[in-house]
Amino acid sequence: MPGAIWALSPIIFNSEHVGLRGIPTPGHAKATQLFAAPFRETAPQSEDIVAVIPREIDFRMLVQSSVFTIHGSQTALEDFGPSDHFLVKFRVPAAAKPVIQKQLSRFGLGGSYLFPDLEHLAKELASLTFETV
């Protein structure tokens, strides 16, 4: 099955769609407004989407360089205005996936890098093959 990798420019997105310069934390007024709407009937509803950079509260978030979008709208990012300004889709043919995985692994970007826990480390070690000299 083919795949895709999406790349978002959060600075351009925020600038064009919510009038923010930069990438705020989830505590910013634009983000907290979107967080409140699903939980409080009296909170103002918004169709905005904002890209935020969280405080790293988990090692996995730090390793993955986690960033998020907070949605007040049901509209997909690729359908949100002229998306070619802020969003790029890289299509990955199914046949290319094993090759890309092998290349990433050679650079040290295996599953245990993205998911730094014992389970993923064990799976990665079990899948290694060694050549005899």
Asked if residue 67 belongs to a domain, the reply is: yes
What tens digit of pLDDT does each residue of 99-114 get? 998 898 888 888 888 8
Asked if residue 133 belongs to a domain, the reply is: no
Cα(72)–Cα(49) distance, integer angstroms: 6
Cα(120)–Cα(70) distance, integer angstroms: 28
Residue 106 sits in which domain range? 93-127
Q: Could you tell me if 14 and 51 are in contact, meaning their C-beta atoms sit under 8 angstroms apart?
A: yes
Cα 43–Cα 46–Cα 50 angle in degrees, nearest 5: 115
Q: What is the CA radius of gyration of the chain?
A: 19
Same domain, 104 and 49: no
Same domain, 101 and 80: no
Same domain, 36 and 76: yes
Same domain, 100 and 75: no
What tens digit of pLDDT does each residue of 59-96 get? 888 888 888 998 888 888 888 778 898 999 999 999 99
Same domain, 27 and 82: yes
Asked if residue 132 belongs to a domain, the reply is: no
Tell the residue number behind the tokens 């997105």, with chain if given.
13
Rounded to two decimals, the pTM is 0.74
Interior/surface letters 55-94, b for 16+ CB within 10 angstroms, e for the rest: eeeeeeeeeeeeeebbbbeeeebeebeebeebbeeeeeee
pLDDT of 132 higher than 90: no
The SS3 of residue 126 is: helix
Number of independent structural domains in the chain: 2
Same domain, 47 and 110: no
Asked if residue 49 belongs to a domain, the reply is: yes
